[in-house]
Amino acid sequence: MAAQRIRQLFEMADEIFKQDPMMSKRYVYLARRMGMRHRVRIPAELKRRVCKECGAYLVPGANCRVRIKNNMIITMCMDCEHLMRKPFSKTGI
Ligand SMILES: [Zn+2]
């Protein structure tokens, strides 16, 4: 199933990130392309880990900064300095 494959690609991106961030970017790219081709939505919790601007796989403390301000989660990609804002839910992320 495509959705499963997408999750797998994200897991691979996560694993390879420490050794090769560029490679994790490639896995994320493949996951997104697969989502588009099969019309499968990328789950919100995974989508949050990807920079919309440059497609980098984001790891807090490594290549992105996460701040919470005015009930918004603000994620800044350190690759391209793109900011992403998401409403912060009280039930957790
Ligand atoms: Zn970026």
What is the Å distance from ligand 1's center to 8 Cα?
22
Instruction: Name the residue with higher pLDDT: 91 or 2.
Output: 2
Instruction: Tokens 């949050």: give the residue.
Output: 48
What is the Å distance from ligand 1's center to 79 Cα?
5
Nearest to 19 by CA among 61, 52, 62, 50: 62
Q: Kindly report the CA angle at 19 between 64 and 92, in degrees rounded to 5?
A: 40
Amino acid at site 4: Q
List, for residues 2-46, the tens digit of each pLDDT value: 999 999 999 999 999 999 999 999 999 999 999 999 999 999 889
pLDDT at 60: 94
What is the Å distance from ligand 1's center to 75 Cα?
10
Q: How many helices (H) and strands (E) does the chain have?
A: 3, 3
pLDDT at 87: 87
What is the Å distance from ligand 1's center to 11 Cα?
19
Strands 64-69 and 83-87: unpaired
CA distance 88 to 17: 26
Instruction: Tokens 């918004």: give the residue.
Output: 72
pTM (two decimals): 0.86
List, for residues 33-86, the tens digit of each pLDDT value: 999 999 999 998 899 899 999 999 999 999 999 999 988 999 999 999 999 998
